[in-house]
Structure formats: structure tokens, C-alpha cells
């Protein structure tokens, strides 16, 4: 059975449909608010006097959202089990080491295989 999840933004001021999520920070506290385009423009306009007079804090730059890793489509435990079933001893860090030696190349203890799964994006 397939399911479909739809996320609908609601303007936090009016309760009407929202178009965007605005993020801002004040006094070391970060905020998010869902707003219609008109209300987002009104917020930006009301803050513009202060933003134009302010200076950027040293070291302040856009930060990535922490705590949520992108989904690669693979279950790491299942990949490790698959690799172990094929004769590789995989580590929790993602690299796998062949468990049998080969006549070509360096001994298995010195050779690392490529990590299982998709490459860097």
C-alpha cells in the first residue's frame, strides 16, 4: 500500500495558507515563522531599518541545519550484512576489508575496498 504525505504551510499570523518559512535570530535565539509572501515582505520591511544600520557579527555566516543527515536510500545495517555475506568484513565507518587474500595486489590486511553505497554527492 502506498501512502502520500502532504505538508501544508499555514501562516502563523493569520491562519491562511503560507508561502514560505522565514528564519531569523535575535539575542542568541533562533526563530522560524511560516508566512504568506505578503506577511514575509512586511516582516522584512519592518526589520530593514535595523538590518541596514547593523553590522554582521564576526564569524556569522549561514549555518547548515544540524542533526538531520540526508537519506541515501540504503540501510547501513543491511549493507553491512550484505557485504559480510559476500566475504567482506565491514566496519561501522563504512569501509570494508576483504577477508580473503588475492594473488594479485597487496595482502588483504593492506587493501581497502571502496565503501558500499552511493558515492559523494
Report residue 7 as a C-alpha cell.
Answer: 505538508
Q: pLDDT tens digits, residue range 71-109? A: 566 677 777 777 777 777 655 555 545 555 444 444 444
How far apart are the C-alpha atoms of 80 and 91, rounded to whole Å? 8
99: Cα separation from own chain's centroid: 34
Mean pLDDT (the chain) is 75
Q: How many other C-beta atoms can be found within 10 angstroms of the C-beta atom of residue 115? A: 15
Report residue 58 as a C-alpha cell.
Answer: 564576526
Q: pLDDT tens digits, residue range 62-81? A: 665 555 555 566 677 777 77
Q: Which fold has domain 7-57?
A: Wheat Germ Agglutinin (Isolectin 2); domain 1 (3.30.60)
Please say whether the beta carbons of 34 and 21 come within 8 A: yes
Mean pLDDT, range 13-18, rounded to an integer: 93
Strongest mean pLDDT among 9-13, 95-99, 116-120: 9-13
Task: List CB contacts of 23: < 8 A, sequence separation 6 or more.
Answer: 30, 31, 32
How far apart are the C-alpha atoms of 17 and 52, rounded to whole Å? 30
Domain residue spans in the chain?
A: 7-57, 76-110
Amino acid at each position: 500500500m502506498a501512502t502520500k504525505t502532504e505538508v501544508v504551510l499555514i501562516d502563523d499570523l493569520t491562519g491562511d495558507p503560507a508561502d514560505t518559512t522565514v528564519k531569523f535570530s535575535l539575542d542568541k535565539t533562533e526563530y522560524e515563522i511560516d508566512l504568506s509572501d505578503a506577511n514575509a515582505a512586511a516582516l522584512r520591511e519592518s526589520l530593514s531599518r535595523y538590518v541596514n544600520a547593523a553590522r554582521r557579527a564576526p564569524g556569522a555566516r549561514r549555518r547548515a541545519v544540524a542533526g538531520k543527515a540526508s537519506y541515501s536510500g540504503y540501510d547501513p545495517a543491511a549493507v553491512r550484512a550484505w557485504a559480510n555475506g559476500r566475504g567482506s568484513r565491514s566496519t561501522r565507518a563504512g569501509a570494508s576489508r576483504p577477508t580473503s587474500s588475492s594473488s594479485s595486489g597487496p595482502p588483504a590486511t593492506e587493501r581497502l575496498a571502496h565503501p558500499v553505497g552511493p558515492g559523494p554527492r
